[in-house]
Amino acid sequence: MLCPACGNILQKLSVTTKQGGRFEVDHCGRCGGTWFDPYEINRIPYHEVMALSQLTVLPKKNINQNAKQLCPQDHLELFPLTGDAVPKGVKLLSCKKCLGIWATQKDLWEFKKHQDEIVSAYDLADKFFPNLSVVFVPALTLILLLFTTFTTITGLQNQKENRVAAREMISGLSVAPMKGNTLAVSFKTAQPMTSVIYLGDSELTMTRIPISEKPATVHTTIVRGLVNGKSYTYQIEIRDESGNNYRSEAEVFITR
Query: Could you tell me the smallest distance in angstroms from the CB atom of residue 65 to Zn ion?
Result: 12
Strand partners, 247: 237
Q: Under rule CB under 5 A, which residues in 66-95 are in contact with Zn ion?
A: 71, 73-74, 95
Say how many C-beta atoms besides its own lie within 10 A of residue 173's C-beta: 14
Q: Binder to Zn ion among 30, 43, 112, 247 (CB under 5 A)?
A: 30
**Phi/psi at 55 (5° precision):** -80, -25
The interface mask with Zn ion, positions 98-137, x = CB under 5 A, is x---------------------------------------
Q: Beta strand pairing status for 92-94 and 245-247?
A: unpaired
Grouping H, G, I as helix, E, B as strand and the rest as coil, residue 231 is strand
Nearer Cβ to Zn ion (93/156): 93
Residue 97 lies near Zn ion (rule: CB under 5 A) = yes
State the first-to-last Cα distance of the chain, in angstroms, to the nearest integer: 47
Distances (CA, A) of 74 to 38, 71, 94, 136: 14, 5, 12, 40
Is residue 39 left, alpha or beta, with left meaning phi > 0 and alpha meaning psi from -120 to 50? Answer: left
Query: Could you tell me the smallest distance in angstroms from the CB atom of residue 236 to Zn ion?
Result: 32
- Biggest CA–CA distance in the chain, Å, is 59
Q: Which stretch binds Zn ion (CB under 5 A): 96-104, 142-150, 176-184, 218-226?
A: 96-104
Nearer Cβ to Zn ion (31/193): 31
Nearer Cβ to Zn ion (73/133): 73
Say how many C-beta atoms besides its own lie within 10 A of residue 171's C-beta: 11
Residue 31 lies near Zn ion (rule: CB under 5 A) = yes
Q: Binder to Zn ion among 5, 81, 86, 156 (CB under 5 A)?
A: 5
Nearer Cβ to Zn ion (44/78): 78
CB 96 within 8 A of CB 79: yes
Binding-site size, Zn ion (CB under 5 A): 13
Grouping H, G, I as helix, E, B as strand and the rest as coil, residue 202 is coil
Q: Which stretch binds Zn ion (CB under 5 A): 8-16, 18-26, 118-126, 128-136?
A: 8-16
Residue 197 lies near Zn ion (rule: CB under 5 A) = no
Residues that bind Zn ion (CB under 5 A): 3, 5-6, 8, 28, 30-31, 71, 73-74, 95, 97-98
